[in-house]
Structure 1
Amino acid sequence: MIAFFQRGLGIISMKYGIVVLTLALSASAAGQGIWTITDAGHSSIVTSVAFSPDGTLLASGSADKTIRLWEVATGKELRRFKESIPSSILSLAFSPNGSQLASGSSGGRTCLWNVARGQELWCFEGPTKVFSVAFSPDGALLATGIDTRGVDHTIRTFIVATGQEVRHFGGNSHTVYSLVFSPDGTQIASGSNNGTLSLWDVATGQEVRRFEGYSVYISSVVFSPDGSLLASGSGDNTIRLWDTATGQEVRIFEEHTGSVLSVVFSPDGTQLASGSYDNTIRLWDVATGREVRRFKGHTHHVYSVVFSPDGSQLVSGAHDWSLRLWDVATGLEVRRIRSHTAWIGSVVFSPDDTQLATGSHDNTVRLWDVITGQEVRRFEGHTHRVHSVAFSPDGTQLASGSWDDSIRLWDIATGQEAQRFEGHTGNVTSVAFSPDGTQLASGSDDWSLRQWDLATGQEIRRFVGHTGSANSVVFSPDGTLLASGSDDRTIRLWDVATGLETRRFKGHIANVNSVVFSPDGTQLVSGSWDSTIRLWDVALGQEVQRFEGHAGDVTSVVFSPDGAQLVSGSQAVMITFRRHDNTIRLWDIATGREIDRLGSEYPIYSIAISGNERFIASAGATAIRLWDAKATALETVPSSILEIPVTFTHYPNPAGAYATVEYALSEVSRVQLSVHDLLGREVLSVLDATQAPGSHSLQLATGHLSGGMYFLRLITDDKQMKRPLIVH
């Protein structure tokens, strides 16, 4: 566990030294991840998107093996669906009444989900990939298009209410990539990998018509709202329009420069939208075949497009991991649902501890709500990696340093760029505000430090002397000194008023990545690629203490607000073919002793401590993680555990005769509370009742339980929650 010193108290030992690495919101436990953002949007290709019939919800499926439900108005993720045997999601469809969602996956599973609760209603286990799913107009049947390997058919129909298979047909000569019911529900159209476009009778499974003209795969098929036309998208870069009664080709649309992966009619049938390998979405006039509008912004293949029910918006899912919402009338992007898509190199708390800012190699700066883990705002403008971010002392502005050689100042309230500082001739690696908030300091791999006036954006002073990249820069608490750490293996102290070097600290045998002053300004700590952390006396320039234990590069160091402890982060390196580190470690300043550590599957590039000493934030790879620094036990659970709200808690832990359990409900729900042993066996049923929304609290009698480790499990209608419980 991680626990900071309290005055008059010691450190609680790490008796149950197990670390939990959970996704999304999780209960606060010793050193446990409260939430983790790993590409808070999908973390891989978005393969399928679907609007709910009322247009308020959006579902997306991805190769990251999840289905996510989003609120269209805000872009907020509402729910996450995950198969019991996860595999890439290839297709999605809402039922006509919007209460259910069907999915097809690469693992051969066809699943039906309850949208409101996120529960899996049934799954059909098939031997091959399910490329397409479609509901009949009355919602009674579900059809699937599948791979031919190992089967003698390519289309299946199921009764939605029971999951029972009704019929299978289509032969085994081709894989069905796309299928759709006709508006009257009597026919199914299918497009295949061998260029076969067919019409099938739902009642008999017989092929009614075949549309000739393709020699390459057909990726998408769709009926016009009145059923008189069929549109198909293909690997020959075209969209074709067919008369369903005669089977004749009516029109061909030929502007795409890559395979057409998705086509959809507007609700009134007058327009067609298409998504393509050429990274664009295009809008077409059905009557003339003319391109009406082009939607640009995706940086990779567009796999899925769909109209909103009123036809005013389009949503697209792409290989760039993003979902985008577009205004049909203007062609402008309305909203983008995506988080950092590249390494996150910097993380910092706001002065009031309510927000986190991150800088990433995806060229963006993002603001996050500490409690919910939700993205609050995105700052875009840098043209290269953002390596460092810093809050102004009053919390109203953010500064970011980038590999585009610039520093930018952002207004947090508006998200607008307030000032740009240019002059460095190399990547900007570090930025820091002066304590009074009037100046900014920056370090760069042009080997210089620079001092800037915030009001004018002008360079005030340049600090020259390092013979390698200046990786870290920080003001002393009184604002009179600057400290810098460099690839030249030194830490240097500079007079802010004159720009002169006043002291040099030597001892590290590799690059110095991070430096920070103690809260009283009398000491300086440094972290290095030599795997050590060193404490220096500012006045004397002497090494006071050395902290050893990391086996990887020490990338970030930070003092606790009271200056009694130190937290360090490290990334793994290869040493004699063994992988080491990716840990956060807590150190006692006075003794140099390691007090605790947290393990992570991600490298740690940056860490921050909240001012109230409650949280530790870490950033690395594409993940942001918030850790509880105050709790008293650690839990081992799989990373696939369901979301756990931070409002589910219990104390004291370890418990004596009693423990108080607190939790909150967002809606009326059945609540089951029980205690389990380490093997998962229930040892005590505490509660099974239906409760109203709001906060709840109860006393749990634990005195009769044998001393040791247990788990407290809370089950509601839409979540399962688990917390460690230690009994004396």
Structure 2
Amino acid sequence: MSEPGTVALRALQDGSVQAVAFSPDNKRFASGGSDTQLRVRSVGIGPPPLEVPTDGSVSGIAFSPDGTRIAVTDFEQVFLRDSATGTALWQGPLAPGNSVNSVRFAPDGRLIAATDTLVAVLDQATGEMQQRITVDPPQIADVDLSRDGTRVALAVDERHGGNHQHAGSARVHDLATGEQVSRLTPEDAVLAVAFSPDGLNVLCCAADDTTRMFEAQTGKQVWPTPEDIDDQVTAPNCLAFDPKGRWTVVGGSDGLARVLDADTGVERGRAPKLDPGHPEEESFGAVTQVAFSPNGKHAASASIDNVVRLFDIEGKELYTVPTDEVLALRFSPDGRWLGVGTVNGALVIDNGEAHRG
């Protein structure tokens, strides 16, 4: 077992890497970005690297639940490929002329893909669009899928499309019908959303400097309550749930990643921790990416001071790794590895014993 923070793999690419993914068996790491190549590499001993040319910049990658397929968003198209050979099984645009920003698999194997204004449910066998949810004219800033695959949460920036007022919303839609189930409307654009593991709540952060939890079914705000002072995070822009549903991690422009109690929003810890005697006004680079480990004991963050951190829920750091600017951050399903996409390639960090539950 390597020391936590050891770089186990450097995946060199010519340009930035916006998308990374691990196979369900934790043995393969996929990355893609501006150099119009999908690359799949073994973490440790395994098959030789697989390199597949793409038509445009890769913005999203996802392995199927059984690991035999890999979905790739490539400019305005979605490709489904054999994960062993890279052979395209089908491909097609969601909306011609619109770039596809993300893709993921539902538990039943359907694909959920999104552009700035459209979320589509695609049949894995044929690529046929089974459902479409449109958001027009605003922009979809983020998408999350409930664990059971029945609902999708959208972070919507309503300042776009000629509307320059400060407006935005977090919305929950039923994937079977496409109908909106609930909606929360802060006073500015919503930047990120995440479902709780049980699908009952949705966490969102907005450009009005707020982080809010609301009920997925009713839209009722859970926290902060009217008597709470919502000063937990400065300019929150990224967030994630602990897979067990007890904690959330939220990153802000003040350079701190805060672990909050999912039931109350009360802060449990933050990283990085200031050293004794350190000036309180010390500023760190804005946090741009956060993720929670599968064991629920650790979280990771990346910031524009070019540091990736792994820390526990109290904020105690287990390691820091210097990197180039980070564009994507993801744990492997077992938590052993942390995949990082940067402006100059990708890397896989070994979390050592920290991944054990």
- Give the TM-score band, short-chain normalised: 0.5 to 0.7
Distance 1:327 1:69 in 2: 20
2:86 to 114, 118, 138: 118
1:48: which partner in 2?
19
Residue 55 of structure 1: CA displacement? 0.6
2:333 corresponds to: 309
Q: Aligned equivalents of 1:232 and 1:294: distance in 2? A: 27
Deviation per residue, 1:167-217 (Å, 9 max, x gap): 211321322243232111110122234453221110111122224447345
**Shift, 1:100, TM fit:** 0.9
Contact in 1 for aligned 2:335/2:351 (Cα 8 Å) = no
- Give 1 or 2 for the bigger CA radius of gyration: 1
Tell me the equivalent position of 2:135.
171
Q: For each residue in 1:358-416, what CA deviation from the matched residue of structure 2 results, as whole angstroms up to 9, or x when unmatched?
A: xxxxxxxxxxxxxxxxxxxxxxxxxxxxxxxxxxxxxxxxxxxxxxxxxxxxxxxxxxx
* Alpha-carbon separation, structure 1, partners of 2:12 and 2:322: 15
Q: Distance in 2 between the 1:229 and 1:273 partners?
A: 22
Sort the Cα spacing of 1:204 and 1:146 in 2 relative to 1 into closer, same or farther, 3 A. Answer: same
State the Cα deviation string for residues 499-533 of structure 1 (Å, max 9, x = none): xxxxxxxxxxxxxxxxxxxxxxxxxxxxxxxxxxx
User: 2:100 matched to 1:130?
Assistant: yes
2: CA distance between counterparts of 1:100 and 1:215? Answer: 38
Structure 1 residues 228 and 275: CA distance shift in structure 2, 3 A: farther
SS of alignment partner, residue 345 of structure 2? coil
Q: So what's the TM-score if we normalise by structure 2?
A: 0.67
Choose which of 286, 294, 310 in structure 2 pairs with 1:267. 294
Note the residue ranges of structure 1 that are not aligned, 5 or more in a row.
1-38, 149-153, 332-728
Within a 5 Å distance, the mapping from 1:554-565 to structure 2 comes to: none
In the alignment, is the contact (CA less than 8 A) between 2:311 and 2:319 conserved in 1? no
Higher relative contact order (CA 8 A, sep 6+): 2
CA pair 59-186 structure 1, distance change in 2 beyond 3 A: same
Cα contact 2:14–2:344 (8 A) shared by 1: no
In structure 2, distance between residues paired with 1:316 and 1:238: 27
Residues 649-693 of structure 1 deviation map (CA, whole Å, 9 limit, x = unaligned):
xxxxxxxxxxxxxxxxxxxxxxxxxxxxxxxxxxxxxxxxxxxxx
Amino acid paired to 2:77:
R
* CA distance in 2 between partners of 1:300 and 1:239 (Å): 28
- The corresponding residue for 1:97 is 66
Residues 41, 240 of structure 1: alpha-carbon distance in 2 compared, 3 angstrom cutoff = farther
Q: Give the residue type in structure 2 aligned to 1:128.
A: N
2:228 aligned partner: none
- With over 3 angstroms needed to count, the CA separation of the structure-2 counterparts of 1:98 and 1:284, relative to structure 1, is same
2:131 match: secondary structure: strand
Closer, same or farther: CA 294–316 of 1 in aligned 2, 3 Å: farther
Q: Displacement of 1:275 after TM fit?
A: 3.4
| 312-321 vs 198-207, which moves further | 312-321
Contact 1:280–1:294 (CA under 8 A) maintained in structure 2: no
Secondary structure (helix, strand or coil) at the match of 2:321 reads coil
Structure 1 residues 604-683: aligned runs within 5 Å? none
Match of 1:415 in 2: none
Query: For residues 42 and 188 of structure 1, do their structure 2 counterparts lie closer, same or farther at Cα, with a shift above 3 Å needed?
Result: same
| In 2: Cα distance, 1:319 partner to 1:233 partner | 25
Change (3 A) 1:71 1:204: same
Tell me how far 1:228 sits from its aligned partner.
4.2
Q: For residue 158 of structure 1, report the CA deviation from its aligned partner.
A: 0.8
Aligned match of 2:125 in 161, 182, 185?
161
- Of 199, 220, 238 in structure 1, the residue corresponding to residue 172 of structure 2 is 199
In structure 1, distance between residues paired with 2:206 and 2:142: 11
CA contact 1:222–1:264 (8 Å) conserved in 2 = no
The gaps in structure 2 that reach 5 residues or longer are 1-9, 159-167, 225-231, 234-249, 258-283
The SS at the match of 1:173 is: coil
Percentage identity across paired residues of the two chains = 31
